Amino acid sequence: MFNIPIALLALTISAFAIGTTEFVIVGLLPTIAQDLGVNLPSAGLLVSLYALGVAIGAPVLTALTGKVPRKTLLLTLMVLFTLGNLLAWKAPGYETLVIARILTGLAHGVFFSIGSTIATSLVPKEKAASAIAIMFTGLTVALVTGVPLGTFIGQHFGWRETFLAVSALGLVAFVGSLLYVPSTIKHSKPASLLQQVRVLGQPRLLLVYAMTAVGYGGSFIAFTYLAPILQQVSGLGANAVGLVMLVYGVSVAFGNIWGGKLADQRGPVAALKLIFLLLAAVLLLLTFTAPHPVLVIITVLLWGAVAFGNVAGLQVYVVRQAEHFTPRAVDVASGLNIAAFNLGIAGGAWGGGLIVEHLGLVHTGWIGALVVLGAFGLTALSGRLDRLNPIPARVAGEKSIHAAGH
């Protein structure tokens, strides 16, 4: 492990606050619906619209803010994020809460696309994947510790107080970034609108986005329903579920850092293939271990170690491909990968719901495993294309751009 710059810790706190905001609402939906007098599907839109804010807003806003200095943009995003959560805290009704969610979703998307480039600029080049992994640890730990904690606050003090607590985290992250993130961060020139469209017209980048969406979609088919699986299939009590989730969170944090180091050592494609294979194996295992309390806890521990280990590899890989194929739209390409990640989560959760409804909870595991194997196949294909067409210079990238444009 290398010495972690304080600026990188500030980015990690930002990531934790943002990750908590995205998913904490899931545990609070019934409370919010009751309090604001709306039905559950309407309350559910607060999750969908947030993810939509991330998926659609991120690439567009990342492109539009290309000329803004990175530190200025980072601080603006944290202000927007904090204000969005304060608005949710004080929301007089459902409509205001919807606006607050969309605002924080937009900030979320841009943060993660520029966050990766800022994180890598803070460390030596060979530590790039590890730096991204450390920043994303904030997001992955939030998924598991921030969400149960936020739900706990929401149930004991009221759902609004959860958003107030996240606003406080946003403020801490803002101060940390203000004090410690350098003002001299270099970034690639902004892309013209045509070049941004060409990012989506670039098959090699679309392939990486498919790897991201399919890989996370598969995992979230089961992860979304982990709590009901633990309670209804494994027979664990509600208190035990919270504890299992915390254990999972610790496992995720270690797995994330391990995944970053693996991508640094082996290169992104080899690392991603290994992690996708392990993830598929664990999801398949879940199908058989779910009815056994001790075995299912061991499975969840293993799952945590590989569930988000591929984040750093995917980000490094998308940036590497973008530098070749769309050299002036690297941030845009990075932002689109975040969009793919969110679309995968949304699709996986939706697909998982259909499986639970029609087949039953226990089937989410093996079906999720099959989907993740699809991501493994896409990764193997991408690696094969890399070997068949090595891209030595930017000239090759320019040709590909024009070819894609026609």
The predicted model gives 368-394 an average pLDDT of 87
- CATH 1.20.1250.20 in the chain, residue ranges: 1-187, 189-406
Q: What CATH number matches the domain at 189-406, 2.30.30.230, 1.20.1250.20, 1.10.150.120, 1.10.40.50?
A: 1.20.1250.20
Give per-residue pLDDT as tens, 111-129.
887 888 888 888 888 888 8
Q: How confident is the model at residue 90 (pLDDT cuts 50, 70, 90)?
A: very high
CB-CB neighbours of 43 under 10 Å:
21
* Coil vs helix vs strand at 2: coil
In this prediction, residue 326 carries a pLDDT of 82
In this prediction, residue 276 carries a pLDDT of 96
Q: How confident is the model at residue 390 (pLDDT cuts 50, 70, 90)?
A: confident
Which DSSP symbol is given to 127?
G
CATH architecture of 1-187: Up-down Bundle (1.20)
Give per-residue pLDDT as tens, 319-335.
889 888 888 778 778 87
CB-CB neighbours of 330 under 10 Å:
24
* 262 CB-contact burial (10 Å; exposed 0-12 / middle 13-18 / buried 19+): buried
Q: How confident is the model at residue 344 (pLDDT cuts 50, 70, 90)?
A: confident
In this prediction, residue 125 carries a pLDDT of 84
Give per-residue pLDDT as tens, 189-202.
555 567 667 788 88
**58, pLDDT greater than 90:** no
Mean of the per-residue pLDDT values for the chain? 84
Q: Which residue has the higher pLDDT, 258 or 242?
A: 258
- The answer to whether 219 and 91 are in contact (CB under 8 A) is no
In this prediction, residue 406 carries a pLDDT of 31
